[in-house]
């Protein structure tokens, strides 16, 4: 994330979210990182744990932190989102604890796996929609692209269920018993939609009406989803590919939105600390802050859990997943508001 990557945004009428170089890294750079780390993790269990640790500390925890830069770093944001910050967490904790009490660790991992699939999909949908606000026909609904974005994760989830996986991370997983023909049918539909979309995009390219950023982003979404849920046999290692992709991409996307929000300089805003971090020249400081803040947040959760029970792992898992599930719900609210008008 050096100067070339975070260059000033292109001017009005640009087809890019920020700039050609930034978007290239968002689309292909992040994908390359996910593929490289995922392939290293697939070589041996020891390397898997190493890559997972890097993903958690460098991408996962910071990407959760970056959500709260949108709602909790100035008084106006806190006042506007007070329920998300104060009222929602106890409700999520109660619901997560109920799942743990009724279905133990297996129930928690099942909710996590299924909900994360939806969460990944919604992120791709949101970024694709942000691209649709650029260039000719800005804001128009693209039903075919939307169908492609949703069809491949649905196929992947049904495929994993049809495979009969009973474990995820070595813990029980309670996916529905889906007949193989249902998953195969979903695959046929997804591939047909993808082919129709690809033909349409090829025609647009030949007619000089292509939107390269949008098309490349949707294509990479299809690729990483298919790789993670269908082509890679092991459910846990397959999941790691798309998790790294999602976390790193989210960090870049949120930073870009914050940089746009504070484009007129740090001194022009009440939240001067966040505005300072979100200036292009301070991108590495923003990343460092998210890493350190995220690590501190989860370490405090772990230490608090250690004071609550001798059987630590279930308590820690409930608290960690409460933070994650809260992040999913917050995202579902703030990006509906923000992407519709600001991205």
Residue 342 near residue 257, CB atoms below 8 Å:
yes
Residue 71 near residue 330, CB atoms below 8 Å:
yes
What is the mean predicted confidence (pLDDT) over 198-221?
92
Higher pLDDT, 322 or 139: 322
Give the global pTM: 0.90
Does any domain span residue 4? no
Count Cβ neighbours within 10 Å for each residue of 186-219 and write b for 16 or more, e otherwise: bbeebeebbeebeeebeeeeeeeebbbbbbbbbb
Does any domain span residue 139? yes
Does any domain span residue 2? no
Does any domain span residue 12? no
Reply yes or no on whether the pLDDT at 272 is more than 90. Answer: no
Does any domain span residue 302? yes
Q: Tokens for 168? A: 């995820």
Domain with 62 in it: 20-342
* DSSP letters for 282-311: GHHHHHHHHHHHHHHHHHHHHHHHHTT-SS
Q: Where is average pLDDT lowest: 108-122, 162-176, 304-318?
A: 304-318
342 pLDDT band (50/70/90 cuts)? very low
Query: How does DSSP classify residue 14?
Result: -
Q: Tokens for 228? A: 């993670």
Does any domain span residue 123? yes
Count Cβ neighbours within 10 Å for each residue of 125-141 and write b for 16 or more, e otherwise: bbbbbbbbbbbeeeeee
Q: How far apart are CA 38 and CA 51, in angstroms?
A: 8
Q: How far apart are CA 275 and CA 253, in angstroms?
A: 16
Q: Which of 250, 252, 248, 244 is nearest to 278 (CA)?
A: 252
Q: Tokens for 124? A: 């791709």
Measured at the CA of 285, the angle between CA 282 and CA 286, to 5 degrees, comes to: 90
Total domains, the chain: 1
Does any domain span residue 10? no
End-to-end CA distance of the chain: 20
Q: Which of 293, 283, 331 is nearest to 92 (CA)?
A: 331
Query: How does DSSP classify residue 280?
Result: G
Does any domain span residue 13? no
Residue 242 near residue 228, CB atoms below 8 Å:
yes
Reply yes or no on whether the pLDDT at 199 is more than 80. Answer: yes
At 30, phi and psi to the nearest 5?
Answer: -65, -40
Q: How far apart are CA 108 and CA 324, in angstroms?
A: 12
For 17-76, how does the pLDDT look when each residue is reduced to its tens digit (9 = 90+)?
A: 988 999 999 999 999 999 999 999 999 989 999 999 999 999 999 999 999 888 888 788
Element (H, E) at 50: helix 45-55
Higher pLDDT, 285 or 3: 285
Q: How far apart are CA 163 and CA 175, in angstroms?
A: 10
Q: Is the dihedral of CA 196, 199, 205, 207 positive or negative?
A: negative
């Amino acid at each position: 994330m050096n100067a070339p990557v975070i260059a000033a945004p292109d001017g009005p009428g640009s087809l890019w979210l920020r700039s050609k170089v930034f978007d290239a890294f968002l689309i292909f750079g992040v994908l390359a990182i996910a593929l490289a780390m995922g392939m290293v993790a697939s070589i041996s269990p020891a390397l898997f744990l190493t890559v997972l640790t890097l993903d958690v500390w460098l991408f996962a925890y910071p990407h959760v932190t970056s959500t709260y830069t949108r709602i909790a770093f100035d008084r106006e944001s806190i006042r506007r989102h007070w329920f998300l910050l104060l009222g929602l967490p106890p409700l999520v904790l109660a619901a997560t604890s109920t799942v743990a009490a009724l279905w133990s660790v297996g129930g928690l991992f099942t909710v996590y796996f299924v909900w994360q699939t939806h969460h990944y999909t919604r992120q791709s949908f949101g970024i694709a929609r942000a691209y649709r606000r650029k260039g000719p026909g800005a804001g128009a609904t693209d039903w075919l692209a939307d169908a492609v974005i949703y069809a491949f994760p649905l196929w992947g989830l049904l495929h994993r269920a049809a495979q009969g996986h009973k474990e995820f991370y070595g813990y029980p997983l309670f996916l529905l018993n889906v007949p193989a023909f249902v998953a195969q049918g979903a695959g046929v539909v997804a591939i047909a939609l993808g082919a129709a979309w690809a033909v349409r995009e090829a025609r647009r390219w030949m007619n000089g009406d292509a939107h390269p950023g949008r098309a490349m982003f949707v294509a990479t979404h299809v690729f990483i989803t298919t790789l993670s849920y269908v082509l890679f046999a092991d459910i846990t290692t397959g999941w790691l590919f798309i998790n790294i992709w999602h976390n790193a991409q989210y960090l870049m996307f949120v930073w870009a939105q914050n940089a746009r929000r504070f484009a007129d300089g740090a001194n022009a805003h009440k939240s001067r600390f966040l505005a300072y971090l979100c200036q292009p020249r301070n991108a590495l400081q923003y990343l460092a802050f998210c890493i350190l803040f995220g690590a501190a947040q989860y370490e405090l959760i772990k230490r608090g859990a250690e004071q609550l029970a001798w059987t630590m792992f279930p308590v820690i898992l409930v608290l960690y997943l409460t933070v994650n599930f809260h992040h999913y719900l917050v995202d579902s609210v703030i990006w509906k508001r923000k992407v519709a008008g600001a991205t």
